[in-house]
Amino acid sequence: MITSLTRINELAKKEREVGLTQGEWVEQIALREDYLREIRGQVRNSLSGVTILDPDGNDVTPEKLRAARK
Q: How far is CA 18 from the centre of its chain?
A: 28
| 60/46 Cα distance (integer angstroms) | 18
Q: Is 56 helix (H, G, I), strand (E, B) or coil?
A: coil
Which residues on neighbouring strands pair with residue 53, listed in sequence order?
Answer: 59
Residue 68: pLDDT band by 50, 70, 90 thresholds? confident
Residue 35: pLDDT band by 50, 70, 90 thresholds? very high
Taking 90 as the threshold, does the pLDDT of residue 12 lie above it?
A: yes
Residue 2: pLDDT band by 50, 70, 90 thresholds? confident
| 29/13 Cα distance (integer angstroms) | 14
